[in-house]
Amino acid sequence: MAIERHIEAFLELLAAERGAATNTILAYRTDLDGFASFCAAAGHSLTDADRTLVADYLASLAAAGLAARSQARKLSSLRQFYRFLLRDGVRPDDPTDQTTAPRLGLSLPKFLAEAEIDQLFAAASVIPGQQGRLARAGLEICYATGLRVSELLNLPASALSTDAAVLLIRGKGGRERIVPLSDAARHAAADLRAHHAKGTRYLFPGRNITEAMTRQGFALILKRVALKAGLDPARVSPHVLRHAFASHLLAHGADLRSLQMLLGHADIATTQIYTHVLAERLQKLVDAHHPLARNATVSRRDEG
């Protein structure tokens, strides 16, 4: 089928030239399949869709209550697909070129306070058996490095087995970066590794020791730790730990460029979502040290 062939060629391009991860490719396929179904219901195909059909599709997503960010992601998938068809001469135009993406509000990353991180560590320290070892190693490594959950779960069983102070990570798009390691993270990994069955391939193994733990499995462990720590489980996830790593580093003086390297962001614009932390820190700095701020405080006291 011609349409399927074009989709496969596009996805192969993403994998080969951009180093797109399996989950990213799956997301693109899901988005394209969704629009293909919408086109078919309207008597069209992906290859002959026009601007009106694209606009109708986005309107249907909004009417169904899909979040603006999700709508924008689907439109981005369509844009890239149609630009691919345009470059390959399959189409003479791009039906998405005049389509406006849904307006996105400012989305600040959710993160935990440092005291709440301490609560999680304290709770994990008293969980017995394999669950406890997995929880402690996961927390220590995530909070020390800011790894994405996919990067964490793909760590081989031998990871963190040396005295090296850093770890080389291959992240999104095949980009490599170096992340720091703490002694606590290495010790937690060693404790976990010491209880691995023979033949275990990953540091965080699944039920099948030759496979990595699933994202869902690791997220469930964190939810259990959150409950034991007296925190709302909905607030604790691997991604929230990554945000905590970034936010707490900034709060203690790190700069955005260094944070970009540690998080593995291709564009510093992605890292700038954390500028609210910088703004709060700078405001406190001004309030504490600027002469006008001190004078204002004195004046308020005098008025009182």
Residue 247 neighbours by CB under 8 Å, 6+ apart: 109, 111, 274, 277
Q: How far does CA 254 lie from the centroid of its chain?
A: 20
How big is the chain, counted in residues? 304
Angstrom distance (rounded) from CA 285 to CA 281: 6
Look-up of token digits 């962001």: 265
Distant-in-sequence, close-in-space partners of 210: CB < 8 Å, separation ≥ 6: 199, 200, 201
Distance of CA 290 to the CA centre of its chain: 37
The span from the CA of 29 to the CA of 42, in Å, is 20
- Strand intervals (E) in the chain: 166-170, 176-180
Distance CA 10, CA 222 (A): 37
Residue 300 CB partners (closer than 8 Å, separation 6+)? none
Integer Cα distance of 138 and 115 in angstroms? 18
Which stretch of DSSP H or E encloses residue 258?
A: helix 256-263
Determine the Cα–Cα distance for residues 284 and 166; give it in Å rounded to an integer: 32
Q: Is 189 exposed, middle or buried (0-12, 13-18, 19+ CB in 10 A)?
A: buried
Cα angle: 160, vertex 183, 153; to 5 degrees: 35
Indicate which residues carry an active-site annotation: 148, 172, 239, 242, 265, 274
Angstrom distance (rounded) from CA 135 to CA 116: 15
Do residues 111 and 240 make contact, with C-beta atoms less than 8 angstroms apart?
yes
